[in-house]
């Protein structure tokens, strides 16, 4: 293994000077620098990240924590991760995904000194992981919000997204619209904050319109989607439109409705929010979608984290970004009925 000492010897300098060149932390005479750079080149020296981390107490590694059990989110999640990784890299940080099963593993990671900062996804309103993060003293940024909105976060703007979905459906003449979302609780019985926000945005919108509201929650799967179709026809048969915020149930909802004799969009319009254009494309008829701003969230999240690490004195960022409407063929004029 080539070490800094080897480089120093070859360039006839001390290891301190090599370090200065490598990190740009101090002026070094041009000729000296050239000699050192040549030695580095010739020896193909790479600095030992572990030793550097121990000496400097920084690793320049950022981790995205995510639950190991959960299905990995698909096109949206992927885009999020990639843009976060690229954003990190552009600012000179490594970025890793760290699947975690339990609290024990999380403590291990937080205390181990291996990462400089953490990005947390799928944050819940009262999230014990956030408490742990705070306790650990490690810098972090949240993708999603807790109850305590003082903490730094970037998040989808669910209120605006739902309002726009409602507006879009209204422009097609729909008045009775149901919300279909995800049934999901952690062991402690908490649901992700975004589900809570989606529900209340929907209820607010319906209240403002003076229309009746029905919220259907099903699991995130094809079967869940079919169940939603059934519940919809039982509990809210007057609905002519559905706002769907449950990506994995999308296909099942369409299939299930068809099986119950309601075709999309003739009998029922569907708009799938917080998802991706790719998903819309996969389904027949192509879904009208509100595409999640995954790329932006990834970049903003990682930048917020790095700003913090590098001691930007700004207030912690609170960023909300709405989804973008991508029209498909699943929304049509409201059917006339009595």
Residues that bind DNA (CB under 7 A): 1, 3-5, 12-17, 19-20, 22-23, 25-29, 31-33, 45, 47-48, 51-52, 54-57
Task: Output the smallest distance, CB 38 to a copy of itself, in A.
Answer: 19
Question: Cα separation of 202 and 215, whole Å?
Answer: 9
Q: How far apart are CA 205 and CA 210, in angstroms?
A: 9
Partner from a copy of itself, DNA, none binding residue 20, C-beta < 5-8 Å depending on class: DNA
Residue 97 binds which entry of a copy of itself, DNA, none, CB below 5-8 Å type-dependent: a copy of itself
**Shortest approach of DNA to residue 12 CB, angstroms?**
7
Least distance in Å: CB of 96 to a copy of itself? 4
Smallest separation, CB 313 to a copy of itself (Å):
25
DSSP code per residue over 11-76? HTS-HHHHHHHHHT-S---HHHHHHHHHHHHHHT----HHHHHHHHS---EEEEEEESSSPP--HH
Say which residues have a Cβ less than 8 Å from residue 311's Cβ, sequence separation at least 6.
Answer: none
How far apart (Å, rounded) are the C-alpha atoms in residues 25 and 23? 5
What is the DSSP secondary structure assignment for residue 317, as one 8-state letter?
P
Q: b/e map of 186-201 (b: 16 or more CB within 10 Å)?
A: eeeeebbbbbbbbbeb
CB atoms within 10 A of CB 242: 28
In the bound state with DNA, the residue whose beta carbon lies nearer, of 23 and 107, is 23
Residue recorded with tokens 């799938």 = 272
Contact 142, 152 (CB under 8 A): yes
Which residue, 112 or 210, is less far from a copy of itself as judged by CB?
A: 112
Cβ nearer to a copy of itself, comparing 84 with 274: 84
Please list every residue from 114 through 133 that binds a copy of itself, using CB under 8 A.
114
Q: How many CA atoms lie within 13 A of 323 on its CB side?
A: 25
Name the minimum Å distance from CB 53 to a copy of itself: 5
**Site for a copy of itself contains 12 (CB under 8 A):** no
107 binds, among DNA, a copy of itself, none (CB under 5 to 8 A by kind): a copy of itself
Helices 4-11, 30-43: crossing angle, 10 deg rounding: 130
Residue selected from 17, 39, 40, 59 as contacting a copy of itself according to rule CB under 8 A: 59
| Cβ 139 to DNA shortest distance, Å | 17
Site residues (vs a copy of itself, CB under 8 A): 46-51, 53-54, 59, 61, 63, 68-69, 71-72, 74-75, 77-78, 81-82, 85-86, 89, 94-99, 101, 105, 107-109, 111-114, 221-223, 251-252, 254-255, 258, 278, 281-284
């Amino acid at each position: 293994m080539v070490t800094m000492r080897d480089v120093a010897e070859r360039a006839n300098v001390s290891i301190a000077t090599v370090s200065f060149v490598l990190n740009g932390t101090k002026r070094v005479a041009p000729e000296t620098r050239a000699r050192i750079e040549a030695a580095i080149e010739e020896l193909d020296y790479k600095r030992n990240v572990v030793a550097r981390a121990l000496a400097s107490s920084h690793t320049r590694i950022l981790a995205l924590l995510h639950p190991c059990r959960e299905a990995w989110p698909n096109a949206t999640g992927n885009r999020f991760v990639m843009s976060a990784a690229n954003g990190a890299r552009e600012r000179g940080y490594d970025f890793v995904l760290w699947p975690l099963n339990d609290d024990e593993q999380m403590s291990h990671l937080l205390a181990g000194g291996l990462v400089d900062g953490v990005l947390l996804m799928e944050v819940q309103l009262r999230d014990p992981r956030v408490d742990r993060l705070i306790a650990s003293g490690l810098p972090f940024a949240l993708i999603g919000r807790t109850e305590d909105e003082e903490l730094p976060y970037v998040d989808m703007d669910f209120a605006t997204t739902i309002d726009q979905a409602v507006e879009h459906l209204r422009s097609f003449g729909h008045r009775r619209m149901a919300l279909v979302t995800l049934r999901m609780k952690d062991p402690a019985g908490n649901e992700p904050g975004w589900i809570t926000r989606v529900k209340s945005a929907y209820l607010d919108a319906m209240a403002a319109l003076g229309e009746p509201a029905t919220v259907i929650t099903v699991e995130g799967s094809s079967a869940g989607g079919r169940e939603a179709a059934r519940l919809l026809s039982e509990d809210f048969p007057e609905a002519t439109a559905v706002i769907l915020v449950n990506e994995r149930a999308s296909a099942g909802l369409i299939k299930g409705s068809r099986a119950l004799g309601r075709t999309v969009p003739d009998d029922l319009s569907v708009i799938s929010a917080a998802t991706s254009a790719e998903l819309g494309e996969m389904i027949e008829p192509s879904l009208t979608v509100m595409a999640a701003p995954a790329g932006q969230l990834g970049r903003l999240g990682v930048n917020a984290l790095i700003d913090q690490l590098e001691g930007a004195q700004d207030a912690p960022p609170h960023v909300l970004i709405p989804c973008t409407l991508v029209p498909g063929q699943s929304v049509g004029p409201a059917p006339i009925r009595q």
